[in-house]
Structure 1
Amino acid sequence: MPSRSASPAGKTSVSRQTSAARSVIVAILAGLTAAGTIAGTALSAGAGPRDTSEAAAAGEPVSTSLDDQVEAAIPVLDWQTCGEGLEDFLCATAEVPTDYDQPDGDTTTLALTKLPATDPENRIGTLFTNPGGPGGSGVEFVQQMGKDAYTDEVRARFDVLGFDPRAVAASDPATCYRSYEEEMAALATQPAFPVTPSEINRFHSENLRMAVHCRMMSRERIQHSSTANVARDMDLLRQAVGDERLTYMGYSYGTFLGATYAKLFPDRVRALALDGTMVPEHYAGQPGREDASVGERLRQGYGASDTFGEFLRLCTEAGPDACALAALGDPETVVEETLERLKSDPAELVLPDGGTVEVTYATAVALTFSSLYEPGAWAAHAGLLTQLAAGDAHLSGAAAALAERSLPHRPRRGEDYPSVGGNMASTCVDSGTTGDPRGYADQAEATDKEAPHFGRYRAWIVLPCEYLRLTDDDAYTGPWDQEVDTPVLVIGTRFDPATPYEGTEPYAAHFPDARIVTVEGYGHTVLGKSSCADETISEYLVELSAPADGSTCSQDVAPFAGDATPDERTLARIPAVPLGQ
């Protein structure tokens, strides 16, 4: 599909409304994955890395695969200021082949941003980042969090670069509706997940309609949106910035992108730091589990259930002075009774600005899942659950701050709201389908018995893929044993609701020399939570000094400690719940 021109300044500036709106869409299919039935194109090892800075400057063709099967021109990056409020950042766009089998054909426009190194004379190179998703905006991540996510040493020695993967956000996005209003109307009717038979039937119908829209509007873009193609794009961008080897920091789904890049380009890796690992077989599929949905394979429901168990335990220990929920009795009993009541009697909450949100059982579960990402927000979430339990409709204080950021407000006309197609794109083509969408209800019911509430929620996350049924012939789905000749840093948090800690070792086992660092704490990834982990990452990225395998770090952010109102940076890391009233 021919690319659309993009204004770097106009398409990459970020407002609070834009960020919040995009978080809602990202959350609709957060952690998406599906059964891998796609035949991947394995790339064999070939020539080692070379300095491509001169070729990049000239825009000369270079190989984008290790067996030299593809030649593509290196993008020429014209860095410009990003616009008002983003003076510290530079923005650019890059043209890459839409189809790497036709490198001289149509192109896709990628949006990029970078935070330049503060010590350019001693600059090592570029730190490529991916915030996860899939469907997360790398541009927004760097512009919102780039200054705080890394140590002063990393900031001094690297340009920190984020790019929107193809089909996502400002990179020729896959869109599913003809207008903003049409998409709002369609998404506003969808709950986070269905429970009753009538809800299940409607959920199937709505997802079928959405998939039809996505096929009609963005078929070609989706069919070329595999993670393997994103990895090929990243390799072209690596050459465009003049780096001989890739230095990369990936979070959550970004660890799957890291594993894919390492598999396709093992001799082009300088450093891989991978936080909140997604086991590649669970995402891309594996023989013998073709009938399991990605929500089941990723075991997010189990990770969330374990983490919520810690939430309740620590709330009880903290007592009512630090955890409001404990003032109503045993926190677990109070929560279970409240969730049961919400199944038949949704609550209408009033925000400080007078806006209202309806909280159903599904909304409450989804909001709890999202809040588990940040232990610094647990006290605020306990306050919100307390108000739901007590029937107090008027939110205030920490509970209001959390709700305003995370609950799906009734949409305001004119918000910049990217299409759900960006989330579906890579997930659906990477992971395939079970071929049995009606089997999701049985899977959800079974998982709910082992991981109450969260198992049911996460079992449904990729139902749209069952109806979309598009593939990318260039997707890579394994095998995953790696040949990278440098130590790889793999980080896992003991109680991570979205990428369970149990996947850390299986992920690391694919690399010849992986160094696992365990953060003894809570939440999704270590961003903003552990200075020990930050220093470990910094030493690895800057000095290539890898810690001993099996190292541990403590967490700075203690649940139910200090001010109950989370700061803006903590709130920014919490995904909004799926849109649905």
Structure 2
Amino acid sequence: MRRSSRIRRVGVVAAIAVALSLALSGCFPAQHAPDTSTPRSEKVSAALAPFYGQHLDWRACGTFQCAKAKVPLDWSDPSSGSVELALIRHYATGKRLGSLLVNPGGPGGSGVDFIRDSLSYAVDKKLQEHYDIVGFDPRGVGASTAVKCYDAKKMDEYLFGITPGQRGSDQWIQSSTRQAAAFASACKQNTGALLGQVGTTSAARDLDVLRAVLGDAKLNYLGYSYGTLLGATYAGLYPKNVGRLVLDGALDPASSSFDVNLGQSKGFEQELTAYVTSCLKRKGCPFSGSVDDALSTISHLLASLDASPIRNSDGRELGANTMVTAIIYPLYDSSAWSLLDDLFQSVMSGSAKVAFSLADGYYERNSNGTYSDNSTEAFTAINCLDYPSDANPATMRKQATELTQAAPVIGPYMSYGDIGCAVWPYKPTRTPAPIHATGAAPILVVGTTGDPATPYQWAVNLSHELESGHLVTYHGHGHTAYNKSNSCVNDAVDAFLVDGTVPQKDPEC
């Protein structure tokens, strides 16, 4: 399963277009608005009262305000301990409607970093005018009480090491299982009890505490990518507390881990095909012949890297898995496709430099070998609690065949993903199923027809599953649709969040 988040798109675009630095800058007016986060009086159990009734200590952090909130470590036993959630807030610049919580996706993406580093990319000026924009790091993520597994050196080995044996063979599966088990053991040892409590259901319950301590009667929320699953889960748990929810780049809560892998394989294969089609029309394209010829060339290139990796100047070896990551990263946004020209030209000439640069961007790895955040560790920990796994070799091989048939280039490298979670020290806490959120206020679901990471059909499914779901379709490419370049999408989302206007029908942007 590939992580899918709005924040990843920021990294891709920033890597190729310095002109976007204005949108990503943290230069916003100093904030002197009064504290609006008086907690609401909520009817909750005695064990939950300290969490719902807490007062947040907001302090200046640059041009924003930051705080930490406490939530139960274990929602089934609130008295057993607590974890901290990191928050960042940008005050409404005009007539305030309340707080708008924003999640960039992942799972594992930092909402604090997202708002601090790219406020005007996360939300447009109209939402900044009417809402306190609040970013948060979910439990296990970033500056909140976090999942910890490996140091940087071991993370390099885990992410970029070459697995011995032919892909899918007994030797390869056994070796992959040992690697996954070692990683899981380190996560348990270095994280402790939190590791079994970072699932989306617990994180959604945390949102209700944040709603209350921010002083809001209803939750107003903008979730991108994985953030849509978090938001939909909240709506299912607390339908009467739903305010105005927008879910952009939707996951389908009913999808299994294999369904997700299959959907993403098809999505990235579709975008890779679109890239190749465009490339062949340009001068300097690294491919020639037909689209099928180019895709076949990429398949053979990946197979050759599996058989004979290319050593990078820092000693890491470029295998097919890392190459697929390097390919997928620019596919999140069509404006980054030119990076694929450089990638394929570089690798076909025997250099791994561009490939590792892109893969490092995807994994938030710095040039000095350190990692900027724990998003990779959190991604695995959250997914392993959210999706039951089946690592039976016969099942995985059957699924690998199906993935390869559906997406001949990408599919083989999206296979065998259940190995990591099959050895996880904690059992899943969520069973994939439709979420209806019966009784909830209207919920806006935004889907992009050419979204490779969260395929459009998932948005269609979620909008139908939610009793009060309303679909907004964007006909275009890229991951997520709001606040990009389509005024139709922005108009629909802003009218909903600011005025409460529900589209009478899909605007088909």
Instruction: Normalising by structure 1, report the TM-score.
Output: 0.73
**How far apart, CA to CA, are the structure 2 residues paired with 1:207 and 1:522?**
34
Contact 2:39 2:214 in 1 (8 A): no
**How far apart, CA to CA, are the structure 1 residues paired with 2:206 and 2:385?**
17
Contact 1:191 1:362 in 2 (8 A): no
Residue equivalent to 2:392: 436
| Structure 2 spans left out of the alignment, 5+ residues | 1-7, 16-34
1:460 partnered with 2:433: no
Residue equivalent to 2:277: 313
Residue equivalent to 1:165: 138
Instruction: Normalising by structure 2, report the TM-score.
Output: 0.82
Match of 2:44 among 63, 69, 72: 63
Residue equivalent to 2:4: none
- Alpha-carbon shift at residue 314 of structure 1 (Å): 2.4
1:325 partnered with 2:289: no
- Alpha-carbon shift at residue 233 of structure 1 (Å): 0.8
1:96 partnered with 2:71: yes
Contact 2:330 2:336 in 1 (8 A): yes
Match of 1:515 among 467, 470, 493: 470
Secondary structure of the residue that 1:99 maps to in structure 2? coil
Which amino acid is 1:76 matched to?
H
Change (3 A) 1:421 1:394: closer
Q: Looking at both structures, which has the greater relative contact order when contacts are Cα pairs under 8 Å and sequence separation is at least 6? A: 1
Residue equivalent to 1:189: 161
Match of 2:445 among 471, 484, 490: 490
- Alpha-carbon shift at residue 112 of structure 1 (Å): 1.0
Match of 2:305 among 342, 346, 349: 342
Secondary structure of the residue that 2:325 maps to in structure 1? helix
Which amino acid is 1:433 matched to?
S
C-alpha deviations, 1:18-46, integer Å up to 9, x for none?
Answer: x89xx9xxxxxxxxxxxxxxxxxxxxxxx
Contact 2:47 2:78 in 1 (8 A): no
Residue equivalent to 2:336: 377
Residue equivalent to 1:116: 91
Change (3 A) 1:484 1:460: farther
Secondary structure of the residue that 1:468 maps to in structure 2? coil
Residue equivalent to 2:98: 125
**How far apart, CA to CA, are the structure 1 residues paired with 2:362 and 2:149?**
24
Contact 1:123 1:157 in 2 (8 A): yes
Change (3 A) 1:72 1:55: farther
Contact 1:429 1:472 in 2 (8 A): yes
> Over aligned residues, Cα RMSD in angstroms?
3.5
C-alpha deviations, 1:468-490, integer Å up to 9, x for none?
Answer: 141366x5754522224432211
C-alpha deviations, 1:266-321, integer Å up to 9, x for none?
Answer: 11111111111111011xx4xxxxxx74654x5211221222222222223x3226
Match of 2:203 among 227, 230, 234: 230
Residue equivalent to 2:254: 281
Match of 1:150 among 80, 103, 123: 123
How many percent of aligned residue pairs carry the same amino acid?
Answer: 28
Which amino acid is 1:308 matched to?
L
Which amino acid is 1:379 matched to?
S
Secondary structure of the residue that 2:78 maps to in structure 1? coil
Secondary structure of the residue that 1:529 maps to in structure 2? coil
C-alpha deviations, 1:133-173, integer Å up to 9, x for none?
Answer: 11111111112222223221111111111111111222111
**How far apart, CA to CA, are the structure 2 residues paired with 1:401 and 1:209?**
26
**How far apart, CA to CA, are the structure 2 residues paired with 1:519 and 1:211?**
39
**How far apart, CA to CA, are the structure 1 residues paired with 2:146 and 2:352?**
38
Match of 1:135 among 78, 98, 108: 108
Contact 2:108 2:375 in 1 (8 A): no
Which amino acid is 1:369 matched to?
I
- Alpha-carbon shift at residue 238 of structure 1 (Å): 0.7
Contact 2:462 2:469 in 1 (8 A): no
- Alpha-carbon shift at residue 395 of structure 1 (Å): 6.2
Match of 1:299 among 235, 238, 263: 263
- Alpha-carbon shift at residue 61 of structure 1 (Å): 6.1
- Alpha-carbon shift at residue 111 of structure 1 (Å): 0.8
Which amino acid is 1:91 matched to?
C
